[in-house]
Chains A and B, each alone.
Chain A
Amino acid sequence: MRFDKTEISLALVAIACVLFGFISPGWLIFLLTIALAKALVVQGVVMQMRSGLVSFGQGLFYCIGGYTVGMGGQFFGIHDAIAALALGMAVAIVVAMILGLLLTRYRDIFFAMLSLAFSMILFGILVKSQGLGSTDGFNVHNWTLFGWAPETGADSQQTVFTMTIAAGLLIAILIHRYTKAGIGVICEAVRENEVRVEYLGLSPRWLLYGNYVAAAAVSALGGGLTALATGHVDPEMAYWTTSGEFIFIALLGGLGHVAAPFIAAIVFSVVRTYSIEFVPNTWQMILGFTLLGVIVFLPKGLWSLVSREKSGERT
């Protein structure tokens, strides 16, 4: 197997991040863990955006991932983090395979609204489940890694951070290969002109279906990691504002590169936490102006700062 330059630089950055984790303060490790875990969900959103579909309900799979990890430990005795994460992805895949049959028949705003509806259905079910703590949710703790139980505190924080980086790297490489492969390029063709793709003898619908299911699995992984890091899950994970946040980050980063969602998620988290600190009453406004600024000045997201030279080269 050969790795191209992007993959090697991703791996180097990942290693640098892990090393950086040993010297940085606890709050920063936590912030980066959550940002990177959310970036995985954003990867799911971006995968679908590249094929022209905006999922306003990616919180559905984020929540499924989180709740599976939480319930696995709480009710089914699955304490191994890797097993729980895998189970979360499996559940998300099954749900996505069923919902995808319906959802891939729709495009544009209809897809967006229908995906939103399904995530709100899950939210409604969870709110009515008093055994799961209704809106209060429940704690996720006592997880292990291959039989080893990290101590609460810096130890477990470091472990989740490293797991998140590893998962992020793996997913990033897979997505990078996917977008470069023929099938990934076809996704963009579907966005541009679906009819022509059909004339090529390909089925846009099944392409979108596969894309939807894969995006669901990636998002569930992000949700599971968030649950492990936070130690708590609640139905807010499936609420539409959470899904909106993922779209916000996706727009912030742009579709230009597999690294864009990771960078955007970190920028988003840093901007948010410092605006909460410095302007506690109007931090949402700062976030809003940030997005507005990006939309006006960098319509293709933060990544266009990096790829600007590229377009210059082509002309």
Chain B
Amino acid sequence: MKKNKATLSKYLVSGVAAVALSAGMASGASAADNGKFRVGIVTFLSGAAAGPFGVPSANAAKVLVEGLNKGNLPAPYDKIGINGAEIEAVIIDEAGGATKQVEEYRNLVQRQNVDAVIGYVSSGDCLAIAPVAEELKTFTIAYDCGTPRLFADNPDAKYMFRTGLDASVDNIGAARYLAATRPDVTRLSGIQQNYSWGQDSWADFTAAAGKLLPNAEIVEEQFPKIYQGQYGAEISALSVKRPEIVHSSFWGGDMEALVLQANARGLLEDATGLLTCGEASFATYKDQAPNGMIIGARGPFGAFAPNNALNNWFKGAYNAAYDLDPVYPATKMAQAILGLKFAAENAGVADKEIPTAEQLTSGIKGATFESVSGTVQMARANGHQAMQGITYGEYHYEDGEASIVNKVSFTGECVTPPEGVSAADWIADDFAGAECK
């Protein structure tokens, strides 16, 4: 036994030594200064959000990085890579929760020595990463997460930026679309996934609809749990209340299941569906979604993206690589990468020089840059949050061809609360200062 105890402590010591050694080797192995601009890309590669969001985003990142490294993009992004330096993308999986993402974020910055990080679909991950980005002083762009708390909770953010829009914009835009196209509706209903996203979306939508559609009432609301997949009971509960509009912030497989089931049971014939994330499945609905269903893309992204040189290049390159049109998460990823490129090239550093995090922040803070979705103004949250308009439209499927009709766009000033005002306060204040065309 005595001998064992001795070997035991030997093992303990050698175990720790092994960890130390592997760590040393690892930190030696990662080459920091190879002259390339190394960017960490974090999005879902596994789990329920991978199919609808993560994979299109990662694909978009690959298309963009390859195109930029070859200098294929149209002006003003025709310079090779980022500021002349070749881009090296490190793509990692966002699955696994906030604790793990904080760990992996630190690994990206401190072990892999990335120059910037772009990522995060989940709002929880964004909120967890924001303070760490400040701590590690790393330029970080949140490309998709929608929580308005990102900058409300971190008012002094210096290194964190968001090139996508927050979720309030989606729902204020949705209410404005109804007011513009269907001012006479009186019976609204909603079905949301029971987690932050669904709860916040519904709160914003009902508040905005209360002001913009004063004659309408909420006749039913349903909060099934996320990834439930079967919505028979909820669809019945909605149907018996005879709503005219069914608002939903569902996404991914849940959304497709809801559309399929609600359509088969006639709910979407009697009532008009309004899906704030509906565009993400634009290519897969075919004839399973009714014509006239209102869909959004969380901004001017995906099928709603404008017809400009950048977007035409992006759609062409994406289509050539994956034989699909980019959906909104893909467009948003492209926008974030272009934002990073803009920040680097606007930072005033010499050609091929890799700017520091401080230089990157000064390059994009409060700036206006061209993107695949049109012009982006970093006009909110002290110049850290993008402001853009939003477009909604109706799904139309005819002769095997899906399209969007009756599009209505709203300007950024029309759907975004002014600086320093929360969406709830702004809505309660009758959208004071909103500039709609």
Contacts and interface: CB of A to CB of B under 8 A. Distances in A.
A281 B20 CA distance: 27
Interface string B119-159: 00001100110111011100000000001010001000000
Contacts of A239: 97
A10 B5 CA distance: 12
A203 interface: no
A137 B127 contact: yes
B152 to A, nearest CB: 12
Contact of A30 (B9, B92, B103, B130): B103
B45 A135 contact: no
Interface residues of A, number: 63
B93 A276 contact: yes
A90 B98 CA distance: 25
Contacts of A104: none
Nearest to A37: B99
A281 B93 contact: yes
Interface string B48-91: 00000000000000000000000000000000000000000011
B224 to A, nearest CB: 12
B92 A136 contact: no
Contacts of A284: 46
Given A25-B111, A236-B98, A280-B92, A152 B135 contact: yes
Contacts of A25: 23, 27, 110-111
A127 B12 contact: no
B19 interface: yes
B207 interface: no
B131 A231 contact: yes
B245 to A, nearest CB: 24
A134 B223 CA distance: 14
Given A280-B45, A306-B8, A137 B20 contact: no
Contacts of A280: 45, 91-93
A31 interface: yes
A34 B107 CA distance: 13
B61 to A, nearest CB: 12
Given A6-B8, A139-B128, A283-B93, A276 B16 contact: no
A137 B128 contact: yes
Interface in B399-415: none
Contacts of A305: 11
Contacts of B147: 136
Contacts, number: 159
Contacts of A8: 9
B124 A9 contact: no
Interface residues of B, number: 54
A70 to B, nearest CB: 12
B104 interface: yes
Given A27-B106, A133-B196, A306 B11 contact: yes
Contacts of A313: 3-4
A20 interface: yes
A234 interface: yes
B98 A232 contact: yes
Interface string B98-114: 11001110110111100
Interface string A221-246: 00000100011111011010010000
Contacts of A236: 97-99, 124
A127 B23 contact: no
B195 A134 contact: yes
B97 A234 contact: yes
Contacts of B27: 25, 28
Contacts of A24: 20, 23
A43 B12 CA distance: 17
B124 A136 contact: yes
Contacts of B131: 139, 141, 152, 231-232
A138 interface: yes
Contacts of A141: 131
Given A16-B16, A27-B106, A306-B8, A234 B98 contact: yes
Nearest to A156: B135
B312 interface: no
A9 B92 contact: no
A309 B92 contact: no
A13 B97 contact: no
Interface of B: 3-9, 11-13, 15-16, 19-20, 22-23, 26-27, 45-46, 90-93, 97-99, 102-104, 106-107, 109-112, 123-124, 127-128, 130-132, 134-136, 147, 149, 153, 194-197, 199
10 interchain residue pairs of minimum CB distance: A9-B9, A232-B128, A27-B110, A134-B196, A236-B97, A135-B195, A5-B5, A136-B124, A136-B196, A27-B106
13 contacts: A27-B109, A27-B111, A30-B102, A137-B98, A152-B135, A153-B135, A230-B103, A232-B98, A232-B127, A257-B8, A259-B12, A281-B45, A283-B93
Interface of A: 4-6, 8-10, 12-13, 16-17, 20, 24-28, 30-32, 34, 127-128, 130, 133-139, 141, 152-153, 226, 230-234, 236-237, 239, 242, 257, 259, 263, 266, 269-270, 273-274, 276-277, 280-281, 283-284, 305-307, 309-310, 313
Given A138-B127, A309-B4, 15 more contacts: A4-B5, A20-B16, A28-B23, A30-B103, A135-B197, A136-B147, A139-B130, A152-B135, A230-B128, A231-B128, A232-B128, A266-B15, A273-B103, A274-B26, A313-B4
